[in-house]
């Protein structure tokens, strides 16, 4: 999974979102050990202080925790990850629905589009 | 937080041109700072003053509390815009040269980086391309364990892949007590690795702020803001 950063938003927020996405997608599994801040920073090509700040945010939300000697780990609390996933997906769907509403589409229109497009992709 | 660089109302005049005009700046340790300004805005003049190569006409400057001199050269690692290493030297000679000169030079680090770039230490500088020579010079400068690094246009002459390598070298090699000043006008390429941006225009300080704060407040990239501030 690649890191994709745009330049308009604060970098640390984008890092938080992308690490969350990686946790949801299972790239980082519950209880996994994370690479060091410096290695992650080098991977994402960002400042180590910025990556540190992202980690602090994730720790505050309980998604990541530090074991003083062993390093930094993804939470083993699967319920927390499930909640995060639900929140994340709800936000995306809500964004999508808002956009459709702006275009004047109703529920039935949206569902018919969804059916049409998912048929094609199968 | 302890202060690594303090400039107090610096002015530097070249004939009728004011290269630095009442320029004040205070930088803390542990930051990567972009010194950003168009050509001729005073970036190199400031860096040369920090390194004791130029003397200001007015104002004061201290590095870790000391005026520029022998003691500060010990803790400041400087990458000038032009290489000064003689062409006849082999890459290994330049490493010995740096090791002789600087107590804080880490030979192993330098050889590791050369190895990662597949650079043969027995090659003479004469036989290297311009971009490769720049890489060698950056490796030398980043292999010191300095308190302040001054990199004057470190990414100007190299291709995008090498640029990524150089930025990576900077990220992985600096430690939390050191500050790195990177002067450039290629902002989009480096803005993700910066802690703070310093905008300089016609020798004056226009802006000094954390990069993420600028994005949060302005809702735009440093590159976009730069283009607005310096619109010709």
Q: What is the ipTM of this complex?
A: 0.75
Per run of 10 residues, the mean pLDDT along chain B (length 232 residues) is 92 94 96 93 95 96 95 95 90 96 94 89 92 89 95 82 82 86 89 93 94 89 89 79
Q: How many CB pairs under 8 A join A and B?
A: 55
Whether A120 has a pLDDT exceeding 90, the answer reads: no
Residue A61, Cα to own-chain centre: how many angstroms?
Answer: 13
Q: Which helix (H) or strand (E) holds B13?
A: strand B3-14
B215 and A CB contact within 8 Å: yes
CB contact under 8 A, A46 and B193: yes
- A36 or B174, which is more confident? A36
What is the reported pTM?
A: 0.85
What is the per-residue pLDDT across A63-112, written as a single tens digit (0 to 9) for each? Answer: 999 887 888 999 999 899 999 999 989 999 999 999 999 999 999 999 99
SS3 B159: coil
| Dihedral angle, C-alpha B107, B179, B34, B209, nearest 10 ° | 170
CB neighbour burial string for B57-83, b if at least 16 within 10 angstroms, e if fewer: eebebebbeeebeeebbbbbbbbbeee
Question: Alpha-carbon distance B179 to B27, whole Å?
Answer: 8
Name the phi and psi angles at B23, rounded to 5: -95, 120
Task: Calculate helix-pair angle for B130-142, B107-116, nearest 10 degrees.
Answer: 150
Q: Tell me the nearest-neighbour CA distance from B215 into chain A, angstroms.
A: 5
- Chain B environment of A50 (Cβ under 8 Å): 192, 195, 212
Answer whether B107's CB lies under 8 Å from B95's CB.
yes
Asked if B192 lies within 8 A of A5 by C-beta distance, the reply is: yes
| Polymer length in residues for chain B | 232
B171 contacts in chain A (CB < 8 Å): 38, 41-42, 45-48
> Is the CB of residue B106 less than 8 Å away from at least one CB of chain A?
no
Q: Is residue A1's pLDDT more than 70? A: no
């Amino acid at each position: 999974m690649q890191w994709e950063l745009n330049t308009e938003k604060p970098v640390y927020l984008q890092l938080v979102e992308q690490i969350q996405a990686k946790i949801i997608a299972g790239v980082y599994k519950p209880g996994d050990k994370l690479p060091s801040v410096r290695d992650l920073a080098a991977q994402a090509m960002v400042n180590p202080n910025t990556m540190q700040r992202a980690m602090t945010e994730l720790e505050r939300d309980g998604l990541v925790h530090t074991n003083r000697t062993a390093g930094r780990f993804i939470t083993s609390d699967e319920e927390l990850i499930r909640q995060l996933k639900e929140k994340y997906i709800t936000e995306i769907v809500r964004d999508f629905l808002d956009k459709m509403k702006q275009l004047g589409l109703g529920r039935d229109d949206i569902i018919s589009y969804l059916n049409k497009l998912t048929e094609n992709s199968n | 937080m302890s202060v690594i660089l303090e400039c107090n109302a610096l002015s530097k005049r070249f004939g009728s041109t004011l290269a630095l005009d009442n320029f004040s700046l205070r930088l803390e340790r542990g930051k990567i700072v972009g010194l950003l300004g168009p050509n001729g805005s005073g970036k190199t003049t400031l860096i040369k003053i920090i390194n004791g190569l130029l003397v200001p006409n007015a104002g004061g400057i201290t590095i870790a509390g000391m005026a520029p001199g022998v003691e500060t050269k010990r803790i400041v690692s400087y990458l000038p815009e032009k290489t000064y290493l003689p062409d006849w030297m082999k890459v290994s000679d330049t490493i010995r040269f740096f090791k002789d000169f600087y107590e804080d030079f880490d030979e192993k680090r330098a050889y590791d980086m050369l190895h990662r770039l597949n650079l043969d230490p027995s090659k003479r500088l004469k036989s290297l391309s311009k971009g490769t020579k720049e890489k060698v010079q950056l490796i030398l400068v980043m292999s010191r364990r300095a308190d302040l690094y001054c990199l004057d246009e470190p990414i100007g002459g190299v291709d995008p892949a090498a640029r990524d390598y150089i930025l990576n070298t900077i990220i992985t090699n600096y430690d939390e007590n050191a500050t790195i000043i990177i002067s450039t006008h290629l902002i989009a390429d480096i803005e993700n690795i910066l802690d703070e941006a310093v905008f300089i225009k016609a020798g004056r300080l226009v802006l000094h702020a954390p990069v993420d704060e600028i994005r949060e407040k302005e809702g735009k990239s440093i590159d976009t803001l730069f283009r607005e501030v310096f619109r010709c």
